[in-house]
Structure 1
Amino acid sequence: MTIFSGIVVFYGIMSVIGFVSMWRDKRKAQQHEWRTPEATLLMIAFLGGALGTLLAMQLVRHKTRTAKFQLFVPLAILLHATLWILWIRS
């Protein structure tokens, strides 16, 4: 496995984790159970799961009105896209 394909797999796994974490938190909120802290959800996004987090925000309508998520999840995507471009061009 090349470094590039390893990174792609990493982002794929992190996106699945981001999606599942958001979906689970939404279900817990509906059931009035213990929730995942917002800081944890945002950390998952910044560690590479932002695409999955954003997808879950739209599909399960979770955290779409929360300013932190409206700002930081797209910012995480932009940050990672910039790092990808810089890495590919080097």
Structure 2
Amino acid sequence: MKPVLRKGQLTKWKDDKGFGFISSNDGSQDVFLHITALKETNRRPQVGDVICYQATVDKNGRIQACNAFIEGVVIKPMPRASSSAIKKETFKPTVKPSLIFEVLFLSLLPSLGAMHFAFTTLNPIPLILYPVMSFITFGLYADDKSRAKQGRWRVSEKTLHFCELMGGWLGAFIAQRRLRHKSSKVSYQVIFWVIVAVHITFWLDWLFFGRRFINLFLSIVSRG
């Protein structure tokens, strides 16, 4: 028996997690839609799109869509890259001089502050924390971009911001420039640069203002 092609409107869509729900035209219960159920198109789904799909039932008895496509959007298969193209892309340099300058500029004050902290307190934690967390955060960015391309569950923005706050903001900055990931979302960038400003302000106060703002912050926290 040939599967029935159904149709409905996408009423909910969480693009960062790659799933949503379709309101079926026949008035039945909402149908779960995962990004992997969509055939490749020239854009990602949006709320209000009309989705054509076949219905199936998962192991939990939930109705979900499969073999779906967005009505009115041309199916655009991804061309298979030739081996020569892959080889060319592999050896293409990605680090630009401007990126090196930006990284050096942003890391100068925190690096000096971390070294001063290590020498005056005999505590090397900042010198270790910054490179380790930057490496971890860069890896999370790369993994999140890979997941986005494959339509898989994404790394949450809260996790990324937490790693940035814990010292991985420089690795995040490099990932944004090299991978072109999370660099155009305004709400994300606002939080990211606030985190960067917090770190730079901390070391600025540590080196030049006698820890005045740090002590003020600690006194406010202790009173609270």
TM over 0.5: yes
**Counterpart Cα distance in 2 of 1:82 and 1:57:** 22
Fraction of identical pairs, as percent = 30
Matching residue of 2:182: 63
Equivalent residue pairs, number: 89
Measure the CA separation in 1 of the matches of 2:184 and 2:159. Answer: 18
Of 28, 41, 44, 2:163 maps to 44
The residue that corresponds to 1:80 in the other structure is 199
More helix by share: 1
The structure that is strand-richer by fraction is 2
Q: Residues of 2 paired with 1:85 and 1:8: CA distance?
A: 16
RMSD: 1.5
With normalisation by structure 2, the TM-score equals 0.37
Structure of higher CA gyration radius: 2
4+ runs deviating over 3 angstroms: none
> Could you give the per-residue CA deviations for residues 46-79 of structure 1, whole angstroms, max 9, x where no partner exists?
2211111111011101111212221121221111
Structure 1 residue identity aligned to 2:149: Q
Counting only pairs closer than 5 Å after superposition, residues 5-24 of structure 1 correspond to structure 2 as 5-24=124-143
Consecutive unaligned residues of structure 2, counting only runs of 5 or more, are 1-117, 211-224
Query: Aligned partners of 2:204 and 2:183: how far apart in 1?
Result: 28
Q: TM-score, normalised by structure 1?
A: 0.86
> Structure 1: 5+ residue runs without aligned partners?
none
Once the two structures are TM-superposed, the CA of residue 88 in structure 1 deviates from its matched residue by 2.8
